[in-house]
Every structure is written in C-alpha cells, then in structure tokens.
Amino acid sequence: MLRSNRGVGPTKTSKLLARKRPHLFPVLDSIVTRELSHGNRTDFYVTLREHLRNDDRALWRHLRDVREHAGVGSDISVIRCFDILVWMAGSGRLISS
C-alpha cells in the first residue's frame, strides 16, 4: 500500500512502521540492509523474529542488556536498539570497548 505512493520507498516505509510499532519493526535503510546482507529478500521480519526467539531469546536479552548498559530507557525498544547498533557498525560509528 505505501509503496504505491510516489516517493515512499522501503526506507520511508520501514521508518513509518517503526514509528507506529516500535516494538515490532526496525528501521531498514541502505546501511542496515547492507550490514545484514539482506538485499531484496522478503523474509527479513520473519528471520529477525526467529533470531530474537532462538536460544531462549538470547539475542533479545543481549540487546536489552546493551540498552540498559548504555543507560537508555525502556521507552526505546529493543528492536530500535538493534537497528541503531547495526547502523552504527555499518557506518563506522560504533565504538568498541
């Protein structure tokens, strides 16, 4: 539906979804897509959900712990932390300790 409108591509669509449902949808821009080697696959959200649920939710718990360690409040979703971390790594702005 959103893609049929001129000027609303995948990045804007993902930003709208992330704004509306921040606990369900990450922002997917060209950097995040490249870093995740996602390309034009259509199964991204299903695959992400599986990874977040695997191993007794180990990835989700790790992202939550990173959020807490960074001093970010729970008003920022774990999914948002995920896309921020991936974007920072892909843009060379992630500082490792």
**Residue pLDDT, tens place only, 44-60:** 888 889 999 999 999 99
**CA gap 17, 19 in Å, rounded:** 5
pLDDT tens column, 55-95: 999 999 999 999 999 999 999 999 999 999 999 999 988 77
Answer yes or no: are the C-beta atoms of 65 and 81 closer than 8 Å. no
pLDDT over 90 (residue 1): no
Element (H, E) at 95: none
The residues spanned by each domain of the chain are 27-91
Region of 37 (left: φ > 0; alpha: ψ -120 to 50; beta: rest) is left
**CA gap 23, 30 in Å, rounded:** 21
Confidence of residue 4 (pLDDT cuts 50, 70, 90): low
